[in-house]
């Protein structure tokens, strides 16, 4: 449990439901200089496609933490949005043109989760315009890494693929199930890059929503290839064409973050996935022993 909550001795660690205004006020009390709102009820495509109401209820967290930060006079407020805000009609081809920040409008985001994120972006904007808050919005593209969710239905594709490959290797089952035909495309951002990009944006002077994501686009089949290479095995692939697949293609255009900050996420998928794989390996191995 300590791994999940990332409890650190040098920090005050609170576990609260910040969808409730009184809890949001408690965690922002004392006028911290920065608030990073990273909270949302979400998961991989298998979760958000069938829990749309739950995902949209995250708006309570988004609004109440924003209100509490305003009332406490917080200097900087960072909101973690998502690439799910982007218009679906720009993501229908696997060979997708990388998404620019302007592609969120005219609005047609991912149903449920994407609408909540887009609405909360607008709330952050209007609190900046109406109350003078220094709000910043980062649009995350598929964050992954060690210590993240790796089972149970909320895990993202990198963790799910690692778990499946590891389970196949440890049990001797020479097969992996892949959702869709495996040709859908994505980019995946390692958590260290996510942290750095978030802090650059939060402490900078750029006020519009900004992509924080890797521009290294791969197919899901290529993601499986990489996990297999790390494991040193090759598996039979069973394609589940009825499983949730999300948009056909999505990638991050990093022109703007390069212009504003001279930086973009740079961790290669192979490197980040190996670190993630090693951590998930230990979790799967321990679970199989019980």
What was the pLDDT predicted at 87? 96
Q: Give the active site residue among 86, 113, 140, 190.
A: 113
E-only strand ranges, the chain? 34-37, 76-82, 134-140, 143-144, 175-179, 185-187, 189-190, 210-212, 217-219, 236-240
What was the pLDDT predicted at 1? 41
Q: What is the mean pLDDT of the chain?
A: 95
| Distance separating alpha carbons of residues 117 and 139, to the nearest angstrom | 9
| Distance separating alpha carbons of residues 17 and 87, to the nearest angstrom | 31
DSSP bridge pairs for 81:
139
What was the pLDDT predicted at 290? 81
Q: Is 113 a catalytic residue?
A: yes
Question: Which two three-digit tokens encode residue 275?
Answer: 């670190």
What was the pLDDT predicted at 5? 54
Domains, the chain: 2-289 (3.40.50.720)
| Distance separating alpha carbons of residues 189 and 169, to the nearest angstrom | 25
User: Considering the chain, what percentage of its residues have pLDDT values greater than 90?
Assistant: 90
Q: In which residue ranges of the chain is pLDDT below 70?
A: 1-6
What was the pLDDT predicted at 79? 98
What was the pLDDT predicted at 203? 98
3-state helix, strand, coil in the chain (%, to 5): 45, 15, 40
What was the pLDDT predicted at 13? 87
Length of the chain: 290
């Amino acid at each position: 449990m300590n791994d999940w909550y990332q409890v650190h001795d040098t920090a005050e660690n609170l576990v609260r439901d910040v969808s409730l205004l009184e809890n949001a006020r408690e965690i922002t009390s004392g006028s911290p200089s920065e608030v990073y709102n990273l909270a949302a009820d979400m998961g991989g495509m298998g979760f958000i496609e069938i829990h749309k109401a739950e995902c949209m209820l995250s708006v309570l967290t988004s609004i109440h933490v924003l209100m509490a930060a305003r009332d406490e006079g917080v200097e900087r407020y960072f909101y973690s949005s998502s690439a799910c805000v982007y218009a679906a009609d720009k993501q229908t081809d696997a060979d997708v043109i990388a998404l620019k920040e302007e592609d969120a409008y005219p609005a047609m985001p991912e149903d449920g989760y994407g609408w909540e994120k887009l609405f909360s972006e607008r709330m952050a904007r209007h609190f900046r315009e109406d109350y003078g808050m220094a709000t910043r919005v980062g649009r995350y593209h598929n964050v992954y890494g060690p210590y993240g969710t790796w089972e149970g239905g909320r895990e993202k594709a990198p963790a799910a693929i690692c778990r499946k490959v590891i389970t196949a290797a440890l049990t001797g089952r020479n097969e992996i199930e892949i959702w869709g035909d495996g040709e859908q495309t994505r980019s995946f951002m390692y958590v260290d890059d996510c942290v750095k990009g978030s802090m650059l944006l939060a402490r900078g002077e750029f006020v519009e929503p900004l992509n924080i994501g890797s521009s290294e686009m791969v197919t899901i089949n290529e993601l499986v290839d990489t996990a297999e290479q790390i494991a040193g095995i090759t598996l039979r692939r069973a394609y589940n064409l009825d499983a949730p697949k999300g948009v056909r293609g999505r990638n991050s255009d990093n022109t703007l973050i390069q212009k504003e900050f001279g930086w973009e996420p740079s961790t290669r998928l192979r490197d980040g996935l190996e670190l993630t794989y090693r951590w998930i390996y230990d979790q799967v191995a321990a679970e199989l022993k019980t």
